[in-house]
Amino acid sequence: MRSLTSLVEDDDTRFGELEPILRRLPSYKKLSDSMSLEWPVNNKLWGLPGVKSMLVDLELGHEAVVRLCRFGYLGRQGGLPVGKRLRFVATSEAFCKPLRRFQQCTCAEHAPLNAVDWSSTGFYNAELSGALNRASKACASAAVSA
Ligand SMILES: [Zn+2]
């Protein structure tokens, strides 16, 4: 059972779960021209030394933060917009640049934490998928013209 009082222990556990995926990233990088990775802004994984050094090693030096409210995510039962932010890091500036226009919002209020179905925010909806698709295309055409 996970300790709810020790964030460090919880982070270590989560890093442990992700480690097999993270270990495969260098091989993915060899297979493609570019690569990106995304977690919520507030995910403590970003701050772990092992993760930080891996981002440097994989040259994931470009960043964009997007707000889910910009893609129409709403709290339960059509509630207020969801204020959760996702941080993308990528090897390509061309991928990040179009995403940055989703960093700011004009919402007067976001859904309270207890009014959000967090499992649904773990999936890309059609709007976010579309934005990521456009960013990937921008990245691909930048790679071709480089
Ligand atoms: Zn908003």
How far apart (Å, rounded) are the C-alpha atoms in residues 13 and 17?
6
Ligand 1: distance of its center to the CA of 1 in Å?
35
Phi, psi dihedrals of residue 76, rounded to the nearest 5°: -55, 145
* pTM summary value: 0.82
| Token couple for 101 | 């226009």
Ligand 1: distance of its center to the CA of 4 in Å?
29
Mind listing the pLDDT tens digit of every residue in the chain (146 residues)? 343 444 444 555 566 666 777 777 777 766 777 889 899 999 888 988 888 888 998 899 999 999 999 999 999 987 999 999 999 999 999 999 999 999 999 999 999 989 998 888 888 999 999 999 999 999 888 877 76
Q: Are 64 and 99 in contact (CB under 8 A)?
A: yes
For the chain, what are the domain ranges? 7-145
Ligand 1: distance of its center to the CA of 40 in Å?
15
The kind and range of the H/E element at 40 are strand 36-40
Ligand 1: distance of its center to the CA of 19 in Å?
32
Integer angstrom CA distances of residue 22 from 56, 115, 131, 142: 13, 32, 24, 26
> pLDDT value at position 15?
62
Ligand 1: distance of its center to the CA of 104 in Å?
7
